[in-house]
Structure 1
Amino acid sequence: MEAQIKKDDKASMIDKVFELRGKATIFLCGGMAGCLAKTTVAPLDRVKILLQTHNHAHESHGIFGTLRHIWSVEGIAGFYRSNGAQMIRIFPYSAIQFLSFDVYNNSLSASLGEGNLTRLISGSMAGMTAVSLTYPLDVVRTRLAYQSAGCADYPHSNYSGIADCLRHLRTQRALFAGLAPSLLGMAPYAGVSFCAFHWLQRQAVERWPGLFAVRDDDESPARLCTWARPLIGGLAGAAAQTVSYPLDCARRYMQVAGAPGRFSLAEVPAAGAAATLSQLYSRYGVAAGLYRGLSLNYVRVVPTAGVSFAAYETLRQAFGV
């Protein structure tokens, strides 16, 4: 009897080790996928922030005008300004998000069953968890990306780096500036993106198996082929971004309030997310305020989400999780 108990305890310990190994692998795959995706679209990401926040050096520029200005004044390094801070933020953010989704989805499936509602709730909770735990790094990244050069009216009292930016943010008590709209926007964004990706993936495999489905062998279940993962992920990201974009604009405005440089709306920071959205609408309207930079964001978010989901699924498969 005692020998059987010891054997059961040993088996239980082995199961826990494998479970922890699986979660650690998911964490690693999620972080690597996020870094790869964000580096791919880093130039477009910076242009989006400059347009969203009506940066003074680019106030009269459109997408291509901003790209040309960055190239002529800052060179190729300008397209990747703040990308170091982005990588420091995105690895834990993406890792936590994918791991949290896996944990929440497994937990909720026991009570709600496996379905779109479970994935929607799990994705929303995972996104909010990841944002909450890594938010100050997002503010740093936005402040560094907001800095510009080559404009006579722009003061050159920029941050010298990540540590300097963190010191200023701590002094200004702005480490969590814009957290409310970030959480409000992340709930529908992450929820819709995870839910849409799994729904579209299932639809593609079931409806067009000859085009989208592959099998490792005759007994294994069908799965989405590798080339289609970026496509499905991109469509899911586009749907999610459309829903949450106004809150993303409000978040950026609140993050750069008080940053070096002349910034009309941020000179007097709004009291909160609702006030910021109201100011954006009253000053700039819907297209130029609440959805400024959305066209560029589609160009940016489709490859971001596509690469992220595709890399994550491919890495999980490669690691055998």
Structure 2
Amino acid sequence: MSPNVSTARRDKQSFHYIIRSGLAGGIAGCVAKTVVAPLDRVKILFQASNPDYRKYAGSLRGAFCAGVQIYREGGVRGLFQGHSATLLRIFPYAAIKFMAYDQVHHMLMPTRAQETNARRFLAGAISGTMSVCVTYPLDVIRVRMAFQTKSPSQYGISGSPTFTQVLKHIYNEPTQPTPTLRVGSVPVMNTKNLLDRFPILKFYRGFSVTIAGMIPYAGVSFLSWGFLRARFLPPDKAGHRPPTPIADLAIGAVSGLLAQTASYPFEVIRRRMQVGGITRPDRWLRLDETVRAIWQCGGWRGFYVGLAIGYLKIVPMTAVSFAVWQGTKRLLDV
């Protein structure tokens, strides 16, 4: 290993570098989420098939009408309902994701000669999975907050729910007995017993499908980001790329579009499972029955409901996220 590579490795694995890298990622995530917060709320209502907004799903015009209805009923605050939980989740999520990507990227690809598309995908998938594992309960809480509309009493929460109210509501959700699973002839604890013993698991509804969806989403996102930057922003003789905010925005937008297309069905399934405690409070929704319910309701198109608004949200969000991440890293000398 050359002295330059060795020095770079030490620098990128230093405590100060990791903290600044995480700070840059957290700031980028918060700015990007704030930009698209109203679109995010509309998309969640569509994905989770909220009965008050189901009639609007399926078109950009419907998304606009849904936004207008939200504004009429709750004003600007209604458009940003659940955003406090979003920021509480997104800062550690984005900080861990971008910080982990920097570290994993450096371990897998310490030099540009070692950069391959497979390694770019793997670095993105690993970083995205790590961030989800740490912050998933916060995502469930903010989805519940965003899902709430004009009929809150049926969910046991009066008025626009606060973070604490939703937290308590999920923790205290009743569970019904389900058939005991068996491995061979050995009985395995059923879902009710498992949730009664470990209530924290209620905050992990849809976690398995989230991980399944995060692998293509983060993998494709960082693969596209790395490939396009290498293709269109070659480094100078000193090995540095010039500051290019416009290029960062454009490349980030394309990366977000490709990643959203690859992972969207997993996201729809995840949203349905996350709000299962509201739509089906009597039982735990399984992955297979959630998939069947979506298919029976809308066929293959059901797995892409809200995709248009998904693009409308994810393209600017990813563009802003990558651009702010790069800009903040330059400011922090990362």
Check if 1:294 corresponds to 2:322.
no
On the 8 A contact 1:56/1:154 being kept in 2, the answer is: no
1:63-212 → structure 2 map (5 Å cutoff): 63-109=63-109, 113-149=114-150, 157=158, 160-172=161-173, 173=199, 174-206=202-234
On the 8 A contact 2:205/2:274 being kept in 1, the answer is: yes
Task: List per-residue Cα deviations over 1:229-257 (Å, max 9, x = no partner).
Answer: 11110110110010100000000000011
SS at match of 2:172: helix
Q: Distance in 1 between matches of 2:81 and 2:291?
A: 27
Q: Name the amino acid aligned to 1:286.
A: W
Q: Distance in 1 between matches of 2:91 and 2:218?
A: 16
On the 8 A contact 1:27/1:96 being kept in 2, the answer is: yes
Q: Name the amino acid aligned to 1:314.
A: G
Q: Name the amino acid aligned to 2:86.
A: Q
Q: Is the alpha carbon distance of 1:74 and 1:183 closer, same or farther for their aligned partners in structure 2, counting shifts above 3 Å? A: same
The equivalent residue for 2:26 is 31
Task: List per-residue Cα deviations over 1:147-179 (Å, max 9, x = no partner).
Answer: 012799998645631112111212234210010
On the 8 A contact 1:48/1:296 being kept in 2, the answer is: yes
Select between 303-312 and 111-120 the one with higher mean Cα deviation: 111-120
Aligned pair count reads 293
Q: Is the alpha carbon distance of 1:258 and 1:270 closer, same or farther for their aligned partners in structure 2, counting shifts above 3 Å? A: closer
Q: Distance in 1 between matches of 2:149 and 2:321?
A: 28
Give ranges in structure 1 of 5+ residues lacking alignment.
1-11, 207-212
Query: Structure 1 length as normaliser, TM-score?
Result: 0.84
Q: Name the amino acid aligned to 1:124.
A: A
Task: List per-residue Cα deviations over 1:105-159 (Å, max 9, x = no partner).
Answer: 2222369932211110010011111001000000000000000127999986456
TM superposition shift of 1:279: 1.9
Task: State the Cα RMSD in Å.
Answer: 2.6
Q: Name the amino acid aligned to 1:307.
A: V
On the 8 A contact 1:159/1:165 being kept in 2, the answer is: no
TM superposition shift of 1:56: 1.2
On the 8 A contact 2:39/2:309 being kept in 1, the answer is: yes
On the 8 A contact 1:247/1:277 being kept in 2, the answer is: no
Choose which of 29, 49, 54 in structure 2 pairs with 1:54.
Answer: 49
Query: Structure 2 length as normaliser, TM-score?
Result: 0.81
Q: Distance in 1 between matches of 2:35 and 2:333?
A: 26
TM superposition shift of 1:274: 3.5
Choose which of 272, 277, 281 in structure 1 pairs with 2:295.
Answer: 281
SS at match of 1:223: coil
Q: Distance in 1 between matches of 2:45 and 2:271?
A: 10
On the 8 A contact 1:147/1:158 being kept in 2, the answer is: no
Q: Is the alpha carbon distance of 1:241 and 1:270 closer, same or farther for their aligned partners in structure 2, counting shifts above 3 Å? A: farther
Give ranges in structure 2 of 5+ residues lacking alignment.
1-6, 57-61, 174-198
SS at match of 2:149: coil
Q: Is the alpha carbon distance of 1:270 and 1:283 closer, same or farther for their aligned partners in structure 2, counting shifts above 3 Å? A: farther
Q: Percent identity?
A: 33
The equivalent residue for 1:8 is none
Choose which of 193, 205, 230 in structure 1 pairs with 2:249.
Answer: 230
TM superposition shift of 1:226: 1.3
Task: List per-residue Cα deviations over 1:23-43 (Å, max 9, x = no partner).
Answer: 100000000000000000000
